[in-house]
Amino acid sequence: MFPISLRQLQVFESVARHLSHSRAAAELYLSQPAVSMQIKQAESIVGLPLFEQQGKKIFLTEAGREMLHYSRSILQLVNEMESVFDELKGLDRGHLNISVVSTANYFMPQLLATFIQSHPKIQVSLSVANRDAVIKQLADNSADLAIMGQPPDGTEMRADAFMLNPLVVIASPSHSLSSAKLIQPRQLANEIFLLRERGSGTRGVVERFFSKHKLALPLHMEMDTNEAIKQSVQAGMGIAIISQHSIELELETKRLVVLDVEHFPILRHWHIVHRKDKRSSIAAQEFERFLLDASQTIK
């Protein structure tokens, strides 16, 4: 018999995900000693250490990595079972964990607010990160679904397009190209570009654009947020390629301009992404239907 409890699996999974007892304690509303006790009990049942300490950091052992795989599968099945019973009871409630890339956060809060108003019993958690981190949250099963521009490669995920995502080239109104017409890609190659960090979806778009036109990536500076990029473009530090959804206010107040560049805007889509092997909860299904309907009214 292997008498490990669901609570011990839940605590272990949280510690393994955060690699921190204190962050797991905060997430689960437990004291840190209670978390440590649950981990010790789980290790005693397994008969092997699940974590090892190096300095002030903890890491998963080989047994811990195996335990993480099974604990996530078990907890996923339990969550699916709860969702199925809620659906059978006809209850409009449940939990919904959504992960979005940072650019999507310019329109998601408004959509979420509308969704929550019509589904007040559904508890929603929103995580904002770059593309690589969002994909990891899906793979780790810590997100029910994700919103991103470029879906991940491979066959493990399903992606449904739901809204256009036009990408444009922006500059300061005082930039020498601000009034130019039909700017050619080779002209952009002489400019300083402000780019997101590696792993960002828009960073990949910039790299593919110049590669497609057989041009080297221009001189550039990396920044980890769209806000930093917009502020730097306003200050005249360079130009950038960015989603038009993220610059509506700056265009209205004339702090930024969209350059007239040949082959732009690049029309892409926002996608709803989730794991194929995960049964969608009633809350996730409701939210996906809501997004597909609401996207028809978003420009």
57-60 and 51-54: which strand pairing? antiparallel
Q: Span 36-54, mean pLDDT?
A: 93
Q: What is the pLDDT of residue 2?
A: 62
Record: fold of 6-74: Arc Repressor Mutant, subunit A (1.10.10)
Q: Same CATH topology for 75-163+269-297 and 164-268?
A: yes
Greater confidence, 282 or 241?
A: 241
For residue 230, what pLDDT band results from cuts at 50, 70 and 90?
very high
**Residue extents of the structural domains in the chain:** 6-74, 75-163+269-297, 164-268
Q: Which CATH superfamily is domain 75-163+269-297 in?
A: Periplasmic binding protein-like II (3.40.190.10)
Q: Confidence band (pLDDT; 50, 70, 90) for 296?
A: low
- Residue 286 token pair: 């409701």
pTM over 0.75? The answer is no
pLDDT at residue 1, rounded to an integer: 46
CATH class label, 164-268: alpha beta
- Helix locations, the chain, DSSP H: 6-18, 21-28, 32-46, 62-89, 108-118, 131-139, 185-188, 201-212, 226-234, 248-252, 282-294
- Tens digit of each residue's pLDDT (9 = 90 or more) over 58-94: 999 999 999 999 998 888 888 878 777 776 666 566 7
